[in-house]
Amino acid sequence: MNAYTTNDAFLRDNLGWAESATNWNRFMVISSLGMIHQGNKSKADEILTPYFAGGAGPNNSPYCTAGAYYAYGLIHANYFTPETNEFFMNGYKNAGQVESVQHGVSLGLGLVAMATKNTEVYEQLKNTLYANADSATIGEAAAYSMGMVMLGSADERAIEEMMTHAADSQHEKIIRALSISLALLMQGREEQADCLIEQMTRSKDAIMRQGAMYAIGCAYAGTMNSQATQKLLKFAVSDVNDDVKRAAVTNVGFLLFRKPTLVPETVKHLADSHNPHLRYGAAMAVGIGCSGTGLNEALRLLAPLTND
């Protein structure tokens, strides 16, 4: 609600609530400062330094530090400089083997280096993923960030490395993160992505097929491409896995957001489906595709789902 406003009064007025948060909840509280102060680079150190030490007194926690790194990344998102790079490289050194802190550093680094296609950063994240094959916590963040750094690059070597690692990994979180990162690599690539999408949709692993739905959404975002829309709708009704169905319908919103009126009429029959995952997807498609429009058709579709 307060994104970009620098208004963090809620946290200041509710310090008791914020301090009672533990573990990943604490991570979320601190990282929300990054959303609130997004772009407020001059004040980033002042705002976050207290948390890099792990928070004050008895509340000292690695989750504070981790959240602060993530918040730092959000504040500096897409603002890659030698200084921000060095900041996160030092973060890795200081994190040691603490999973949560490595998680925060990895996410922050991915945000800062987003779409830079910087090979050094990509290699750092890849090595973090490989070196922590047993840790879903570290691997998940590193895998998402690999996709952010290579956003829209369609880099063949990165695709191959991600596909191979996903096939070898035992962790659902890591496979899911890699499948979404593969989708990010195809941002805006349209037909160029078709070969990878085809490969992912044929996977026996439902998580990979779910990623394929997002790959369609990323590659054809805003294009209103009718073949891509049909492909999503086909998977929505034919895939055996509910998560894939849900992702397929959700991504219709990404394809059609330039013509919001198309979204409710495209997914309305799915909003009446007996399958709750399809109803969920229809709601998300309308939320994404009609964002900020106040469209009456969208509200009419969502109203019955509020009592679902």
Chain segment 205-262, per-residue pLDDT in tens: 999 999 999 999 999 999 999 999 999 999 999 999 999 999 999 999 999 999 999 9
Percent of the chain residues topping a pLDDT of 90: 92
pLDDT for res 54 = 64
Burial 120-151 (b: 16+ CB within 10 A, else e): ebbebbbebbeebeebbbbbbbbbbbbbbbbb
- Average pLDDT on 119-143 reads 96
Residues 262-271: pLDDT tens digits?
A: 999 999 999 9
Residues 169-186: pLDDT tens digits?
A: 999 999 999 999 999 999
Tokens representing 118?
């910087």
pLDDT band at 18 (very low <50, low <70, confident <90, very high): confident
pLDDT for res 35 = 96
pLDDT for res 242 = 98
pLDDT for res 208 = 98
SS3 string of the chain?
Answer: CCCCCCCCHHHHHCHHHHHHCCHHHHHHHHHHHHHHCCCCHHHHHHHHHHHHCCCCHHHCCHHHHHHHHHHHHHHCCCCCCHHHHHHHHHHHHHHCCCHHHHHHHHHHHHHHCCCCCCHHHHHHHHHHHHHCCCCHHHHHHHHHHHHHHCCCCCCHHHHHHHHHHHHHCCCHHHHHHHHHHHHHHCCCCHHHHHHHHHHHHCCCCHHHHHHHHHHHHHHCCCCCCHHHHHHHHHHHHHCCCHHHHHHHHHHHHHHHCCCCCHHHHHHHHHHCCCCHHHHHHHHHHHHHHCCCCCCHHHHHHHHHHCCC
Report how far residue 38's alpha carbon sits from residue 112's, in angstroms, rounded to the nearest whole number: 12
Report how far residue 225's alpha carbon sits from residue 229's, in angstroms, rounded to the nearest whole number: 6
Where are the domains positioned within the chain? 222-308
Cβ pair 185, 153 in contact under 8 A? yes
pLDDT for res 240 = 97
Residue 60 has pLDDT above 90, yes or no: no
- Average pLDDT on 49-71 reads 82
pLDDT band at 53 (very low <50, low <70, confident <90, very high): confident
pLDDT for res 57 = 55
**Whole-prediction pTM:** 0.93
Tokens representing 283?
């709601």
Average pLDDT of the residues of the chain: 95
Single out the residue of 16, 53, 50 nearest to residue 33, CA to CA. Answer: 50
pLDDT for res 19 = 84
Residue 59 has pLDDT above 60, yes or no: no
Residue 83 has pLDDT above 80, yes or no: yes
pLDDT for res 190 = 97
